[in-house]
Amino acid sequence: MEYNRITLAVITKLQAIVGEKYVWTDEEKRIPYGRDEGTFTVPLLPDVVVLPETAEELAAVVALANEAVIPVIPRGTGTGLEGGALVDGRGGILVSTERMNRILEINEEAMYMVVEAGVITETIQKEAGKRGLLYAGDPCSGDSCCIGGNGATNAGGNRAVKYGTTRDQIYALEVVTPTGKIAQLGKRLHKMTAGYPLEKIVVGSEGTLGIITQLTIKLVPLPKATAHVLAVFPSAEQALSLVTALPKAGITPTCLEFMDYDVIEVVGAWLDEKQNCPKGGAYMIIQLDSQSDDGLDDDCVAIDDICHTLGAVEVFMADAEKVWKARKAFTEASAADCPVAAMEDFVVPPDKLLPFMTELKSVGEATGVLFRGVSHAGDGNIHLDLLRKGFTDEADECRRIAAFEDKACEAAYRLGGAISGEHGIGQARKALFEKYTDPVELELMKALKRAWDPKGILNPGKIFD
Amino acid sequence: MEYNRITLAVITKLQAIVGEKYVWTDEEKRIPYGRDEGTFTVPLLPDVVVLPETAEELAAVVALANEAVIPVIPRGTGTGLEGGALVDGRGGILVSTERMNRILEINEEAMYMVVEAGVITETIQKEAGKRGLLYAGDPCSGDSCCIGGNGATNAGGNRAVKYGTTRDQIYALEVVTPTGKIAQLGKRLHKMTAGYPLEKIVVGSEGTLGIITQLTIKLVPLPKATAHVLAVFPSAEQALSLVTALPKAGITPTCLEFMDYDVIEVVGAWLDEKQNCPKGGAYMIIQLDSQSDDGLDDDCVAIDDICHTLGAVEVFMADAEKVWKARKAFTEASAADCPVAAMEDFVVPPDKLLPFMTELKSVGEATGVLFRGVSHAGDGNIHLDLLRKGFTDEADECRRIAAFEDKACEAAYRLGGAISGEHGIGQARKALFEKYTDPVELELMKALKRAWDPKGILNPGKIFD
């Protein structure tokens, strides 16, 4: 696709739409919008940052860009990791939803909330909580990410095993289309067979099919009871067998997190807390919630049984704060121990986690790349930090990291998995995504994108070219 | 769209693909494929019926039809109600999946099944059950419908309140595209953000975006405990208040069925069983399942409390067989009492059921159309039988039924609902669907259809023109 660059005439029109105050061309003001939380080293600067206040303003901006054939890059709070909310070198108009941050309706009786895209996820969680309700979406960056971005990336997080990802929390969307129209997609219904459920594909489309401006999200009653169980296993293999054993026993934890011995050691050193794990062993953190105290007790008894049967050396009700402090310390502890060259987000069917981890070990050995990782084991999602260690120079690092990623990706897809569980493809992963996706499926995706966005102006160069 | 008619040359090519034995042109053999279970009075005969055995054969048939610009109409077992699996007067090749009826894999450990499109839904349920597992999809026509058709229509049914519709039971699909390619859509994953989840829009697309040939479906452990509660209320209003009260209390029944006084009387007469309902009252059937006996007991105690607080005159643990016999007798009992002119399938947000029912009453009075209905109240889905009673002639019936449907549809959409909860649009509902759907949303749907099926050969005239 060929794009035009921003002209003064376009800037003037943008100012007319959103007001002069909200069209930023100063480099200083654009710099923060040239980064996300990924491992990009050089800021990718948009030509202009625009901050609309309403869907109508945003639609007018997109219509203008469509007419002028200029890329539009939608951005929430920039907590992504794969460059999905950054320009890709071809410049363009970065549209931030940060001013669209109102909660429009909270219906306690019918348990839903209508929010603008820029509302911080934690704000939603807290407002729901005050009313005895739960918004079940819970990405790790909840205190800084926004709900529109959660929708655009189909964010996962800490309750996905039981409650699903962001797609599962959404009833309906207001979306600005690539041609600058406002569409109402989805309805607050429990079932419907009336045309194509387009809201389901806009969610997770990383801003390539539409810009989410408003969301109607599901709420559920706050669980009456919660429990955190820590099971210590003598080996990773034994720990991972829990991943299929729990669902098979009819137990659905809110999350099931795996930490191997290496990670436990690094985290222990970072927190200066002795960890109680035999050498070569592993932790499994099992979080549960329920509307029934009795039901939860039944589950905990069953879990204790199952873990011991699978060889656990210790199973105990853990202090929630302590156990999550350890789990969440991983990113910082790992980076403090050794700089991180790349972060991975593979996902495989949960029963394939163990064979996938075995393959990863071989891939690491074959490519000479050191890594460590934690996994949202309950949903088969592994986050790896590839360590900046043992490379001769930058070119060597690039080459060997690329080789690792390619081989690991091949293994993930061969086992029925994918390159990303929750971070998305953005611009950083698209080559591997295109290489390993079913070619017929990929062509259907591209045909859809072309049909909705014939000039390719909406977030170009993301997911695929 | 302009289509070509079948020629002898096309027939010869079809015979070469699937074998002479499986290409039917005799009128006698085609007649059963000219009907579904809806209220169409004249059979809609396809030019030819083709019965492929594999996805490859089916893909070759579609590729041929695409080249020759001839409509292809996919069909499962023909249990639809809206003409979705019938030709629409422009002829074409009807492709039946009935020979694609093998169960390819049952994985008890990872709890999934891989099946061909033509497998009868009940067969899947039974095979799962033998292994202590549940396939949660449960359309009322389960003993005769097939899983591919369930996918094509996103079938709902008797467990949708807790387990969702067919879309929620599906991990992955093999699909023949409108140009005759075979696509693998979706994966057996609990989370993924890697491109657009196309399987979610093929499900429910009524064969307009692709023909489902294989499905990887979720299984869950069979519930350890079930309960059926019958609550008798003095008024429909009180009964319907249960629809929001139960979820608010954190109780998710597998289904929640509403029967009003008129329906109870008709069913009672048909079954010759005295019904225990005060005049003007209503039944609410609450079905529950759980992995925990204690959890289920807690729920039943809470339900008893809630129902009495809402004014129930009687709440008791019901005989499952007896209560379902009454509920399922509705269709037959209603038809025996008075011929049915049309069947409706409106859906609204559950908290809007009561206002919608009030509006329906006004619509009935304004148009002079008598009706009765039962509702899957838990998911806001109302099935109405419009009665063939009180019309002066056929033209009067047509006019007044059309007026009723239009006004009822307007009310459903105004309340945030839709024309179909689970029956689909087919060819019978498309005018109203097009009239009341958000025009921007509708145009996005049509753009997607055109992009994937430029010649419009796959199930033309279904959902929209």
User: Which residues of chain B does A347 touch, with a Cβ-Cβ cutoff of 8 Å?
Assistant: 189-192
Q: What is the spatial distance between Cα B423 and Cα A303, in angstroms, rounded to a whole number?
A: 41
Q: What is the spatial distance between Cα B213 and Cα B198, in angstroms, rounded to a whole number?
A: 15
**pLDDT at position A27, please?**
95
Q: Of A105, A55, A100, which Cα lies nearest the Cα of A76?
A: A100
Q: Which of B191, B218, B448 to mutate to test the interface with A (most CBs of A within 10 A)?
A: B191
Alpha carbon B170 to its chain's center: 15
Identity of the residue numbered A98: E
Q: What is the pLDDT of residues A249-306, one digit of tens each?
A: 999 999 999 999 999 999 999 998 888 899 999 999 999 999 888 889 989 999 999 9
Structure tokens at B282: 């209503």
Distance (Å) from the alpha carbon of A76 to chain B's nearest alpha carbon: 17
Asked which of A10-19, B238-247, B292-301, B386-395 is least confident by mean pLDDT, the reply is B292-301
Q: What is the spatial distance between Cα B74 and Cα B85, in angstroms, rounded to a whole number?
A: 6
Residue B238, pLDDT > 80, answer yes
Q: What is the spatial distance between Cα A32 and Cα A232, in angstroms, rounded to a whole number?
A: 43
User: Which residues of chain B does A292 touch, with a Cβ-Cβ cutoff of 8 Å?
Assistant: 292, 294-295, 298-299
| Phi-psi domain of A180 (left: phi exceeds 0; alpha: psi -120 through 50; beta: other) | left
Q: Inter-chain contact A418–B192, Cβ cutoff 8 Å?
A: yes
In this structure, chain A runs to a length of 465
SS3 (DSSP) at B170: strand
Q: Does B248 touch chain A (CB under 8 A)?
A: yes
Q: Which residue of B has its CA nearest to A425?
A: B194
SS3 (DSSP) at A120: strand
- Give the angle B222-B424-A190 at the CA atoms, nearest 5°: 50
Sign of the dihedral defined by the CA atoms of residues A193, A195, A198, A199, in that order: negative
Q: At what angle do helices B353-367 and B394-414 cross, to 10 degrees?
A: 150
Residue A40, pLDDT > 80, answer no
Taking only residues 307 to 336 of chain B, the set having a beta carbon closer than 8 angstroms to any beta carbon of chain A reads: none
| Phi-psi domain of B250 (left: phi exceeds 0; alpha: psi -120 through 50; beta: other) | left
Phi, psi (degrees; rounded to nearest 5) at B221: -60, 140
pLDDT band for position A110 (cuts 50, 70, 90): very high
Q: Find out whether B73 and B196 touch, Cβ atoms under 8 Å.
A: no
Residue A41, pLDDT > 80, answer no
Distance (Å) from the alpha carbon of B278 to chain A's nearest alpha carbon: 28
Q: What is the pLDDT of residues B350-404, one digit of tens each?
A: 999 999 999 999 999 999 999 998 899 999 999 999 999 999 999 999 999 999 9
Residues 6+ apart with CB under 8 A from B366: B403, B407
**pLDDT at position B398, please?**
95
Q: Find out whether A464 and A5 touch, Cβ atoms under 8 Å.
A: no
Q: What is the spatial distance between Cα B5 and Cα A380, in angstroms, rounded to a whole number?
A: 50
Q: What is the spatial distance between Cα B270 and Cα B250, in angstroms, rounded to a whole number?
A: 36
Residues 6+ apart with CB under 8 A from A103: A113, A114, A115, A116, A119, A123, A124, A127
User: What does pLDDT average to over chain B?
Assistant: 95
Phi, psi (degrees; rounded to nearest 5) at B208: -90, -20
**pLDDT at position B329, please?**
87
Residue A189 Cα distances to B162, B357, B374, B378, B416, angstroms: 14, 16, 18, 11, 8
Distance (Å) from the alpha carbon of A55 to chain B's nearest alpha carbon: 14
The total of other beta-carbon atoms located within 10 Å of residue B270's CB is 17
Average pLDDT for A429-436: 97
pTM of the predicted model, to two decimals?
0.97
Alpha carbon A451 to its chain's center: 26
**pLDDT at position A435, please?**
98
Structure tokens at B176: 């023949």
User: What does pLDDT average to over chain A?
Assistant: 95
Could you give the count of Cα atoms lying within 13 Å of A78 in the half-sphere of its Cβ? Answer: 19
Q: What is the spatial distance between Cα B50 and Cα A26, in angstroms, rounded to a whole number?
A: 66
User: Which residues of chain B does A445 touch, with a Cβ-Cβ cutoff of 8 Å?
Assistant: 195-196, 198
Residue A39, pLDDT > 80, answer no
Q: Of B243, B247, B245, B170, which Cα lies nearest the Cα of B204?
A: B170
Q: What percent of chain A has pLDDT over 90?
A: 89
Residue B41, pLDDT > 80, answer no
| Phi-psi domain of B37 (left: phi exceeds 0; alpha: psi -120 through 50; beta: other) | alpha
pLDDT band for position B292 (cuts 50, 70, 90): confident
Phi, psi (degrees; rounded to nearest 5) at A220: -130, 165
Q: Does B240 touch chain A (CB under 8 A)?
A: no
Asked which of A76-90, B138-152, B316-330 is least confident by mean pLDDT, the reply is B316-330
Q: What is the pLDDT of residues A439-462, one digit of tens each?
A: 999 999 999 999 999 999 999 999
Q: What is the pLDDT of residues A124-152, one digit of tens each?
A: 999 999 999 999 999 989 999 999 999 99
Structure tokens at B72: 């292809």
Structure tokens at B353: 């059921």
pLDDT band for position B69 (cuts 50, 70, 90): very high
**pLDDT at position A273, please?**
86
Number of A–B residue contacts, CB under 8 Å: 272
Q: What is the spatial distance between Cα B228 and Cα B164, in angstroms, rounded to a whole number?
A: 19
Distance (Å) from the alpha carbon of B134 to chain A's nearest alpha carbon: 11
Structure tokens at B367: 């148009």
Could you give the count of Cα atoms lying within 13 Å of A209 in the half-sphere of its Cβ? Answer: 31
Residue B295, pLDDT > 90, answer no
Q: Does B295 touch chain A (CB under 8 A)?
A: yes
Strand partners, B371: B386
Q: Of A414, A321, A301, A322, which Cα lies nearest the Cα of A362?
A: A414
Average pLDDT for B35-63: 93
- State the complex-level ipTM: 0.96
Q: Find out whether B139 and B121 touch, Cβ atoms under 8 Å.
A: yes
Q: Find out whether B259 and B282 touch, Cβ atoms under 8 Å.
A: yes
Structure tokens at A202: 């806009």
Phi, psi (degrees; rounded to nearest 5) at A264: -60, -40
SS3 (DSSP) at B369: coil
Q: What is the pLDDT of residues B81-137, one digit of tens each?
A: 999 999 998 999 999 999 999 999 999 999 999 999 999 999 999 999 999 999 999
In this structure, chain B runs to a length of 465
Q: Of B115, B117, B149, B126, which Cα lies nearest the Cα of B37?
A: B149
Q: Of B215, B148, B218, which Cα lies nearest the Cα of B184?
A: B215
If residue A9 lies in a helix (H) or strand (E), which one and from where to where?
helix A8-18
DSSP label at A215?
A: E
pLDDT band for position A7 (cuts 50, 70, 90): very high
Distance (Å) from the alpha carbon of B375 to chain A's nearest alpha carbon: 13
SS3 (DSSP) at A73: strand
Q: What is the spatial distance between Cα A75 and Cα A82, in angstroms, rounded to a whole number?
A: 13
